Structure formats: C-alpha cells, structure tokens
Structure 1
Amino acid sequence: MDLFDDLPEPKQTPVPVSAQQKSTREEEEEEEEVKEEEEKSLKRKREDAERHADKKEEEEEEKEEIKKVCREGLPVLRGYVAARRGEREEMQDDHVMLPDMSSCMSALPCQVSRVSYFAVFDGHGGARASRFAAEHLHHNLAKKFPSGETENLDKLVKKCLLDTFRQTDEDFLRKASSQKPVWKDGSTATCVLVVDDMVYVANLGDSRAVLCRMEAAGGGGGGGGVGGQRKVVTLALNKEHNPTIYEERMRIQRAGGTVRDGRVLGVLEVSRSIGDGQYKRCGVISTPDLRRCQLTANDRFIILACDGLFKVFSADEAVKFVLNVLQEGSVEKRSGVTEEEVRFEAACQQLASEAVRRGCADNVTVILVSISF
C-alpha cells in the first residue's frame, strides 16, 4: 500500500490576472518617473550650461570694455626705418617693426590691451644670423608670451624674453652646425617690446636704444616750465656688451677665452650675441640685458639703431638731430599722411644719411618710434 495514496495532488494557485496587471502598471510608472527625472536632470544641466555661457560672455564683454578703456589712454606708436649699406659689400643688418603684435599671438593676458615690437639686428661674419633672428625671434616671443589670468606680469615678461633669446640662439646654432661648411655668422639683437605703456628692452651686443623725454625746465615731469620752456632729456634704455667691460671680460676669461685689442680672441667685437658658435665656449653668451621704462606724456620718440649710427653720433646728438628735423618750418605734404608722419619719416632718413656723410663705413640701420598720447 502506498503511504501517499490518500494525499491530494499539489495544485498551483494561479496568480489573479488583476495582480499581474497591477505589477506591470507599477513597472511602467516607475520607468516614467525615471525618464522624468532624467529629463529634469538634462534640463537643469542645459540651463546651467546656458547660464555659465551667458556669464562667460558677460565677463568677456566686460574685459573687452576694460581693455577698450585702457587702450584709449595708451600711447600711439608709429615706426619709421632707414637703412644704408655704407661702404660694406653686403647689407648684414636686419630689422622688424610690429606696432601691433596681436596678429602673431593667440591671446594676450587679461590686463594687457596691446603689445608692440621693434628690433634691430646687426650681423657679422655674414647676414644669416641677423636674418634668422629677424624672422624667428618675435614668433618665439609670441609663443612664450603669457596669456589669460596672470599675476606678476613684469616677472613673466622678463622670463619670456630670456627664454625667447635662448631659444632663438639654440635654433640658429643647430641650423648653423648642420651646414657644410658650418655657418660662423653672428648677430647683435636689440629689441624694444612695449606692453601697453611699459617698455622692455632686451639687448645683446652694441646696438642701442635711447628715449627722448621732454621735461619742464625746472626738472619736473609735468608742466612746461617758465614760459613753457622744456629741456630735452636723453635716456639710455640698454647697456652695451663689449669685451672691454670688466664684467664681460671676467666672464670670458673664466670660460677660458682671452680679450686682445678689445675683442674676444682678438677677433669678435661683442661679448654677447646670437650665433657665433665658435665663440660660445669662450664665454660669449646669448643672455640679454633687460631694462624697463614706463612711457609718459612727456616722451617724444625712441631711437633704436645699430652701432653704425653711434660710431659717429652720441646719443644726445642723435636725439637733437631728430628734434631739429621735426621742428623745421615747411614740409612736403603727401596725400593720406599727416604732417607729423612726414616729419618723422624725414628725420629717420636724414639721420641715417648723416651718419654715412660723417664717414661711417659700416651698415647703418635706424628705427625711429614716435610716441604720442
């Protein structure tokens, strides 16, 4: 006898249809709630993004407005250039004038409205180093120039200039050493970088930059003095580098070089330069001397020139020569050019020509930068 005969067979209790429908409906409601939450979240993100974009746009507009206001108080700079070959067989000087460098730069620091760049390069041993520096130095400068939110802009600009000169020198030496025969060219470099109203001068070698400032006869910086008289002040904006200067000579001697007849190894006339690969082991370096000066409403112009000019002109003489031309009575009027521009152009050309007339046999390159507020 089977012990389990009397036990009923197990029966499945069917789930009521209404319960299944209820379960499905709950799942659908939950899915709808999740979708609604996701849509709300996306909407919030979109709104936040739009608010952020609007805020950023407002900030950019505010910065542009600030820059516009700043720009209105900035000095207006115009560059004029004159170049003479002199008695040399080849023109080994080069130059660059960029009254507005913004076209070379991706972005400027927030507090800066304008950057201007003027440079003279005096080549020796050939024109390749001066040409290379003229073509590449300002591009290296543009790449390394600070941008965005910056603190201590002055320190960053100076570091940028030091890095730029080192990079340009290294690039040229790399190219020069790959040639057959190896290039032995070198070049001085004197660069005037104007950041809004602050002038930075970076210099290698013996080219010079001088500023003409008109001060009150009593020595103050503001008024016109007694009877409106003003005195001319010539400010040297850079220090020259030649082997006869004590610090330069000591560095060359410590590096194992010698100074004979005022030249490195009796040959090279400058103690800092771009290129000159064969003299780099003798203490000739590419680290520029850096100076800065803030422009004022009393400033009239900057003369930036190679040593060809200053062999026959002192800095004071050059400034007074330019002032005399600017103050001459009549000028030839030209269409689309202001009288002041005609005068500055004439002053620049006459200064270079006078250097040749005075017996300078070297190349002469002069950049004259007018300053007006």
Structure 2
Amino acid sequence: MDLFGDLPEPTQTAGRDTENTPQPSTEDRGEKRKHEVTEEQEEKKVCKGVARLRGYVAARRGEREEMQDAHVLLPDLSPCMASLPHQVSRLAYFAVFDGHGGSRASRFAAENLHQTLALKFPKGEVENLDKLVKRCLLDTFKQTDEDFLKQASSQKPAWKDGTTATCMLVVDDTVYIANLGDSRALLCRVEQEGKDECKKCVTLALSKEHNPTCYEERMRIQKAGGTVREGRVLGVLEVSRSIGDGQYKRCGVISTPDLRRCQLTHNDRFVILACDGLFKVFTPEEAVKFVYSVLQDVTVERKEGQTAEEGGFEAACQRLANEAVRRGCADNVTVILVSIQF
C-alpha cells in the first residue's frame, strides 16, 4: 500500500486570519458557537475557490456478450453525506469498475462503495484529515468487499463475480486515488517548455496496477498458498487484488487498495479513469495526448447548450473510447474524463 507515492506533495492551505478579529468573551462563546460554525461554513463554501470538476463518460461493450463495467460520476458527493468536516467545502467522487465473471460485483461496487464512504467519512472538528481519509478509504474498500462476498455466498449457486476498482475522491483540491486491479487513473498537467512559451502535456500516473506477475503481488499469493501460472492466479484470475472473487481470497487475492494523493494545480487539465480495455491499445501517454489534441481542436462540434469547453471534453471522451475499439480492443471499454477548471 502506497499512500503518498511519487506524486507532488499537497501545498498547505492558509488558515483564516484571526489576528485582528475581536474575540468573544468567555460567557458569550458557548451560545455563539453554533452561529459561528454555520457562518464559517458558509464563508468557506462561497469563498474557497476550489477547482470546478465535471465528469464525462464513454462506455463500449466491444465484442463481449455482456457489459461488465460500471461507473459513477458524482461531482458533488455532499447529498450523500450527513455532514462534512468543518474545514472541507467540497467532496467529489468518480469511479470506474471493471467486472469479471459477471457484472454483479461491478454493479454492487458502483451502487454501494460511495454510500459506505459517505458513512465512514470524518465529521465535525478533525485533525490530520489526510490520515483520516486514508483510514476511511481502506475501511470502505474492506466493508464493500465483505458486504458483496456475504451476498454472493448466500446465493445458490454462489456468485463468483469480481471487479477492479479505481476511485477518485476529491476533498476540496486534494485528489485521493484508491485502486485495485488493472484499471488506471492518469492526470494531465500542462507545463511550459522553454522560453518560447510552448506548452506540453505531462502524464502523471495516479494509480498502481495489481497483476500476479508483479514480484510483491506474486510473493503474497505464493505465501498464502496460491500459485501464479501464465500470469494469472491459479492460471485463471488476471488481477491480484479485487472486490469479490471469493474463491480466490484464500489464495492471497486481497481487497486492500493502493492509495495516492495529489494536490490539484492551475496547470492541471483533466484526469482519465479507465479500465484495462483502453490500455490494451493505448499507452498512458498516448491516451493523455489523444485527449489533449482533441481539446486543442477548435472545430469540434458541441451539443445544444454546451459551452465550447464542455463540447471539447465530451468529444474527447467519446473519441478516445471509439479509437480503442477501432484499434482492435475486443474487451469492454469504459473511459471517464474529469475536466479541471480553476
């Protein structure tokens, strides 16, 4: 598990300036506290200036008999929350789930994981929010896996479905990526190159693949009594971490996600979340450059009511999925494109 990985560290957010603010007397503090908290929350919601996020999705069944992918786009997660920590003004959530052995595990995760996350998310006055978010994500994945396995084992015959999961939780302008399996998350960051002000897009990997061929994953599986044959667990399962797959849990397949954190900057343009179907025919760098090139195309048509920016992202998302199919990917392909605007 890798919480802060090799990504840029988040910047410190300046606190409110209270040096010149009159402080209430001791006897007034109790009765005024509720009013002050409400006023502070409203001020943060209005003045925080967090990045605006918008999600777009394209899904293709490919040559498979069934669409086993699922996805979630929630630019505002607050309706699912009883309350937010006092220092948080926005939560957003986007996720892609690539099912195997059926679509029940991916659908279950899409319907339930963010609901469990909302219940477990820190509330009220909190310290060390990063640590609490980390614990929340780990507990949420564990709970989601346990809940699905309980339902799966109660069926006759028992369900054998499993799913990968790549989830993007945005707390104000801090992105947390939690992933299992071989779906991926990529960030496009635009940087200036040289004095001629030429800009280039840089691809940052926000997730880590979990394949049985990876040394650490293979060692864990073998230590648990499982084997890796032809790059698969017991010669069958292509991923070494997943939600579901109850028959492989005793062989070292786990539901503990890798966690990474990244602070959004004004140079960030978008995040791609996609299942492995896309990456069978695209490298991460190719996928990011493909989207970036479509966004630079001023001739892109847009739907009625869309801005030019929205039309560009919608077109880029759809074209990326279409191109994956054109290149010969026979697997399900799901692409989520999250635009970032300050």
- Cα RMSD (Å) of the superposition? 1.4
Instruction: Name which structure has the greater RCO, CA cutoff 8 Å, separation 6+.
Output: 2
Name the CA distance, whole Å, in 1 between partners of 2:41 and 2:98.
Answer: 40
CA distance in 1, matches of 2:298, 2:146: 50
State the distance in 2 between where 1:132 and 1:191 align. 14
Counterpart of 2:185 in structure 1 is 209
1:240 aligned residue (193, 197, 209): 209
Q: Distance in 1 between matches of 2:27 and 2:141?
A: 43
Counterpart-to-counterpart distance in 1, 2:235 and 2:74: 37
> Does 1:305 find its partner at 2:274?
yes
1:230 to partner: Cα distance: 1.6
Instruction: Give secondary structure in 2 for the equivalent of 1:94.
Output: strand
8 Å CA contact retained: 2:208, 2:258? yes
1:164 alignment partner, one of 140, 143, 149: 140
Which of 84, 94, 115 is the aligned partner of 2:91?
115
Counterpart AA for 1:129: A
Q: What are the equivalent positions in structure 2 for 1:1-373 lying under 5 Å apart?
A: 52-70=30-48, 73-218=49-194, 226-373=195-342
Sequence identity percentage:
76
Q: 1:255 to 1:343 in 2, by over 3 A?
A: same
Give yes or no for contact 2:302–2:312 (8 Å, CA) kept in 1.
no
Contact 2:50 2:172 in 1 (8 A): yes
Residue 57 of structure 1 deviates from its aligned partner by 1.1
Q: Matched residues in 2 for 1:134 and 1:114: separation?
A: 21
| CA apart distance, 1:280 | 0.1
Would you tell me which structure has more helix in proportion to its own residues?
1
Q: By how many angstroms is 1:332 displaced? A: 2.3
The residue type equivalent to 1:349 in the other structure is Q
CA contact (8 A) 1:309 1:364 kept: yes
The alignment of Structure 1 onto Structure 2 pairs a total of residues equal to 317
The answer to whether the 8 A contact 1:208-1:306 is kept is yes
Structure 2 length as normaliser, TM-score? Answer: 0.90
CA contact (8 A) 2:145 2:255 kept: yes
Q: CA deviation at 1:59?
A: 3.2
Structure 1 residue 227: Cα displacement: 2.5
Residue 68 of structure 1 deviates from its aligned partner by: 2.2
Letter matched to residue 281 of structure 1 = R
Q: Report if the CA contact (8 A) 2:108-2:148 is conserved.
A: yes
Contact 1:67-1:111 at 8 Å conserved across structures = no
Deviation of the 1:143 alpha carbon: 0.1
Deviation of residue 171 (structure 1)?
Answer: 0.2
Alignment partners' CA distance in 2, 1:333 and 1:99: 21
Deviation at 1:216, TM superposition (A): 1.8
Distance 2:282 2:111 in 1: 29
Given that 1:309 and 1:355 are in contact with CA atoms closer than 8 Å, whether structure 2 keeps it comes out as yes
Q: Matches of 2:274 and 2:29 in 1, distance apart?
A: 53
TM-score by length of 1: 0.83
Gaps of 5+ in 2: 1-25
Which residue of structure 1 aligns with residue 20 of structure 2? none
Which amino acid in the other structure matches residue 65 of structure 1?
A: E
Task: For 2:34 and 2:315, locate their aligned partners in 1 and report how far apart those are by CA, in whole Å.
Answer: 48
Q: CA deviation at 1:330?
A: 1.3
Per the TM alignment, residue 49 of structure 1 is displaced from its structure 2 partner at its CA by 11
Question: Helix, strand or coil: the match of 1:227?
Answer: coil
Amino acid in the other structure paired with 1:77: L
Structure 1 distance, partners of 2:318, 2:155, is: 37
- Mapped partners of 1:280, 1:241: distance in 2: 15
The one-character-per-residue Cα deviations of 1:110-147 (angstroms, maximum 9, x if unpaired) are 11000000000000000000000000000000000001
- From the superposition, tell whether residues 209 and 333 of structure 1 become closer, same or farther in structure 2 (CA, over 3 Å): closer
